[in-house]
Chain A
Amino acid sequence: MDFGILEIANSKATAAPGWAYVPDTGVGVSAPAVTALQPGRAKRARNLTLATAGDTTAKQDAKLLRGLEELTRESHREVQIPIAGRANQKGTTPAVRKILASNKTFNNHLDDYTSLKELAPPPPSTPQPIVVSPPPVSTPGTPLVKPAPHLTSKGTRSHKKKDPSQLLRPPPGTVRKLPIPPITPIAPNPQEIKPLITLPILPPPPSHPGDSDPLLQSRIPRMPTQEEINNLVSAPPLSYEETRGRLNEEERPVRLFCEVCGYWGRVRCVRCGGRVCALECLDVHREECFSRYGA
């Protein structure tokens, strides 16, 4: 037993030359030293990724983490399937050649992205306006500026008068003949988000004497204003990490299942802390738990 104390060669002169206390940071998903020496640190680390009943040991958590990581893998074993005709896969431009030759995984790209993001405070998803101003077609990047069509139009094409069904579904045959103004963005740009409730699509139902009854009245929440909707629609995408669903803290307690048969895990193995449902499954579990070295 070394109690977490390692002797290392150290050039620094200290009161006790020759050895130093080294924090054990070997807590990781893939690291072999998952049975960490500092449980406090491990607890903090694992609580970000695991949902447990709170009575698990660091060793169990490490096992759980490893299990989760295994579940996201493509196959049980590591496989390499090379491409047969690799030689004729050169690519035409340098950029393409670089992309084709890249062997990065998604996690590599994600790490790149997060470290880049930390380096540059403004997130890369909101790019700076580029110097060369793009053609007006492309200016949906400036959400608060009125789009070009409004500047050129005679003011007869305001938002409110637009009938969405007419705008998007012109009578067939007419649209091709009209000279399409070159810069009219037909795409639903931020500015083009039409008022949501435009006109009653269906005729309202016949009135009923109970309509004015205060008990039967329905309350409809206030619709967001057009400006709010425009802001929502033009919001930049969240990052990969931000969209990850989180655990609602008020949620039901974590359910535990028998590791052998899948029924409720009501009994805990005193040796490893694993859950089983009853004595019968505990016997099966013990066979494995007690006979396997290091389990």
Chain B
Amino acid sequence: MAPRKDPPKSEPPPPSRTLIIDNGAHTMKAGFASPEDASTDSTKLQKPSVIPNCLARDRDRKVYVASQLSKCTDFNEIVFRRPVDKGYLVNWEAEKEIWDHEFFNKNAPLHCDPTETGLILTEAPNALPQLQTNCDQMVFEEFGFPSYYRCAAPTLNAYNDIQALFPIPSRAPLPPPQLPAEILLLIDSGYSHTTITPLLQGRPLQTGVRRLDVGGKLLTNYLARIVSRRQYDMRNDTYLVNEIKEACCYVSRDFKGDMERTWKGPKGDRREAYTTGGGIAKDYVLPDYHNRSKGYVRDHDPSAAGKLKALVAGKSAEAIEDILTLRNERFTVPEIIFTPSDIGMRQSGLGQLVLDSLSALPFGLWPGFLANIVLVGGNANIEGFIQRLEMEIRSLAPSECIVRVSKPPDPIISTWNGGAVLARNPDILKGLSVTKQEYEENGPAWVARKFDGR
């Protein structure tokens, strides 16, 4: 046993404010929390800013940094540079530019002095050690945060009130939630990938972590591909295709049935459901960035197909809309999450991967995990996702187990909210984070091990 070190007398008090950054590949969720917030009413707590984590360049070669993107009006052929690649923070040159712009510059929207602020930063699970070390070095040596906690993003969700997400017949008022949640199977379906993390008292069970290489980006690219093949070439309009995806796509609960309902029918025998839309087909009115800067979705209108005729008939060009009709594209795109082999990927669907993840864990923990499945991340907003996931897991899991799948009210900021709860509990946070002093004394390798929980 090493001789115990006296507590350093000069140890500075923990910083009063904590900056929490959930550094996603598509957007980062950032904001401040401090222990004083804990006394205030929890319903009035502030929400994080959701900031595009990218540098963007539009057609006129104007460059937008992160939140400046909201000033952009013409998203035609806009291109992005993202510092987070495949879910992991890789390019610090770009990330520093974004962080400087958002946090450290004089007139930054979320201005703070890094030397007086604590930091909670998330990463995707199973990051490469080199990238983790880079991250620690940047945080301490370049920015100089006095205290810092780097963790896999799923773990922060354990600090949310998980049981409140599952409606149960209430027999008695529940005791206040335990922090962190005892048992939780967290599925994070984000921009780059979808990960499954079993969490026991806020700590990941590493042997059960699984990743499906399907994320929002792949879905968007796939939609862009099939739309380009069938209607307009939109391969250079990823931003727009993403908006179409968010507005129109849904996860089908009856894939075969929906497929039949959107079938055009054999030659010379058009199905009625095809021409009328059959309740599935939707029209997306594309923005032209002159009169309409944002597209919108509406029910399929078969008569709108005659718009070319209308143009010929002398209607003014401004009244003409460009319409994209989406039929089976609406549900075949998110279907990739549940059947990646549809596009030739050699991976099982999400439901099967949940069972794969559990099979690496003792059977005694299965009931607990299966009854506490929480879905977060942007894809959780796709309509019908949790219902389908529950169906899939239900059909694979042991029949005695209760399967409950739920998502927080806003699945995108859920991880950040968990981080905010953690930041309001300085006693828990203090044990988890590393101070700058400790980093300077023990070095990056020690910090990496500490964050690994070993």
B328 touching A238, Cβ below 8 Å: no
Enumerate chain B residues within 8 angstroms of A135, measured Cβ to Cβ. 2, 4-5, 442
How many whole Å from A227's CB to the nearest CB in chain B?
Answer: 11
Interface residue? A50 (CB, 8 A): yes
Interface string of A39-54 (1 = CB under 8 A from B): 0000000011111100
CB neighbors of A among B341-374 (8 A): 341-348, 352-353, 356, 361-368
Interface residue? B324 (CB, 8 A): no
Pick the residue among A138, A165, A261 that contacts B450 (CB under 8 A). Answer: A138
Pick the residue among B4, B81, B206, B230 that contacts A237 (CB under 8 A). Answer: B206
In whole angstroms, what is the CA distance A194 to B353 when docked?
A: 28
Interface residue? A177 (CB, 8 A): no
9-residue interface stretch from A1-9, A25-33, A87-95: A87-95
Interface string of A91-133 (1 = CB under 8 A from B): 1110110011111111001101100000000001101001011
9-residue interface stretch from A16-24, A154-162, A198-206: A198-206
Interface residue? B166 (CB, 8 A): no
Q: Considering only CB atoms, which chain A residue lies closest to B179 in the complex?
A: A168
Given contacts A89-B96, A248-B348, A260-B230, contact A168 B428 (CB under 8 A): yes
Interface residue? B94 (CB, 8 A): yes
Interface string of A62-95 (1 = CB under 8 A from B): 0011011011111111011101111001011101
> Mostly helix, strand, loop or mixed at chain B's interface?
mixed
Given contacts A130-B446, A186-B431, contact A96 B128 (CB under 8 A): no
Q: Considering only CB atoms, which chain A residue lies closest to B255 in the complex?
A: A255
A51 touching B341, Cβ below 8 Å: yes
Given contacts A83-B97, A237-B209, A264-B259, contact A244 B347 (CB under 8 A): yes
Q: Considering only CB atoms, which chain B residue lies closest to A52 in the complex?
A: B344
Pick the residue among B125, B174, B207 that contacts A235 (CB under 8 A). Answer: B207
Interface string of B214-238 (1 = CB under 8 A from A): 0001100110111001100001101
B183 touching A196, Cβ below 8 Å: yes
B346 touching A247, Cβ below 8 Å: yes
Given contacts A148-B4, A243-B125, contact A127 B55 (CB under 8 A): no
Pick the residue among B259, B327, B368, B453 that contacts A233 (CB under 8 A). Answer: B453
Enumerate chain B residues within 8 angstroms of A203, measured Cβ to Cβ. 171-172
B267 touching A280, Cβ below 8 Å: yes
In whole angstroms, what is the CA distance A104 to B222 when docked?
A: 26
Pick the residue among B130, B235, B442 that contacts A109 (CB under 8 A). Answer: B130
In whole angstroms, what is the CA distance A70 to B217 when docked?
A: 11
CB neighbors of B among A168-219 (8 A): 168-169, 175, 182-183, 185-190, 193-194, 196, 201-203, 205, 218-219
Given contacts A72-B218, A141-B454, contact A186 B5 (CB under 8 A): no
Interface residue? A246 (CB, 8 A): yes
B449 touching A245, Cβ below 8 Å: no
Enumerate chain A residues within 8 angstroms of B449, measured Cβ to Cβ. 127, 138, 141
A233 touching B205, Cβ below 8 Å: yes
Given contacts A71-B218, A251-B352, contact A83 B94 (CB under 8 A): yes
B79 touching A106, Cβ below 8 Å: no
CB neighbors of A among B177-236 (8 A): 178-180, 182-183, 195, 200-207, 209-213, 217-218, 221-222, 224-226, 229-230, 235-236
Enumerate chain B residues within 8 angstroms of A164, measured Cβ to Cβ. 178, 182
Given contacts A81-B57, A262-B226, contact A190 B342 (CB under 8 A): no
Enumerate chain A residues within 8 angstroms of B4, measured Cβ to Cβ. 135-136, 148, 183
How many whole Å from A292's CB to the nearest CB in chain B?
Answer: 14
Given contacts A165-B178, A278-B266, contact A219 B400 (CB under 8 A): yes
B454 touching A143, Cβ below 8 Å: yes
Interface string of B415-437 (1 = CB under 8 A from A): 00000000000011011100000
Interface residue? B32 (CB, 8 A): no
In whole angstroms, what is the CA distance A294 to B259 when docked?
A: 32
Q: Considering only CB atoms, which chain A residue lies closest to B89 in the complex?
A: A106
A106 touching B130, Cβ below 8 Å: no
How many whole Å from B160's CB to the nearest CB in chain A?
Answer: 15
CB neighbors of B among A236-274 (8 A): 236-240, 242-248, 251, 254-255, 257, 259-264
Enumerate chain A residues within 8 angstroms of B178, measured Cβ to Cβ. 164-165, 168-169
In whole angstroms, what is the CA distance A85 to B2 when docked?
A: 48
9-residue interface stretch from B42-50, B134-142, B297-305: B134-142
Enumerate chain A residues within 8 angstroms of B388, measured Cβ to Cβ. none
In whole angstroms, what is the CA distance A197 to B182 when docked?
A: 9
Interface residue? B175 (CB, 8 A): yes
Interface residue? A232 (CB, 8 A): yes
Enumerate chain B residues within 8 angstroms of A101, measured Cβ to Cβ. 93
B182 touching A196, Cβ below 8 Å: yes
In whole angstroms, what is the CA distance A248 to B327 when docked?
A: 30
Enumerate chain B residues within 8 angstroms of A125, measured Cβ to Cβ. 129, 452
In whole angstroms, what is the CA distance A264 to B258 when docked?
A: 12
In whole angstroms, what is the CA distance A91 to B140 when docked?
A: 12
How many whole Å from A54's CB to the nearest CB in chain B?
Answer: 12
Interface residue? A12 (CB, 8 A): no
Given contacts A92-B142, A109-B90, contact A220 B2 (CB under 8 A): no
The interface of chain A, by Cβ under 8 A from chain B, is 47-52, 64-65, 67-68, 70-77, 79-81, 83-86, 89, 91-93, 95-96, 99-106, 109-110, 112-113, 124-125, 127, 130, 132-136, 138, 140-141, 143, 148, 151, 164-165, 168-169, 175, 182-183, 185-190, 193-194, 196, 201-203, 205, 218-224, 228-229, 232-240, 242-248, 251, 254-255, 257, 259-264, 278-280
6 nearest interchain CB pairs?
A: A186-B431, A187-B431, A133-B2, A51-B341, A224-B362, A106-B85
Q: List 20 A-B contacts (CB under 8 A).
A: A48-B346, A71-B343, A76-B235, A76-B238, A99-B92, A134-B442, A134-B446, A140-B454, A182-B6, A187-B432, A228-B362, A229-B200, A233-B200, A236-B454, A238-B126, A238-B209, A244-B213, A246-B348, A255-B339, A264-B259
The interface of chain B, by Cβ under 8 A from chain A, is 1-2, 4-7, 55-57, 63, 79-82, 85-86, 88, 90-94, 96-97, 125-126, 128-131, 134, 137-138, 141-142, 171-172, 174-176, 178-180, 182-183, 195, 200-207, 209-213, 217-218, 221-222, 224-226, 229-230, 235-236, 238, 259, 262-264, 266-267, 327-329, 332, 339-348, 352-353, 356, 361-368, 400, 427-428, 430-432, 442, 445-446, 448-450, 452-454
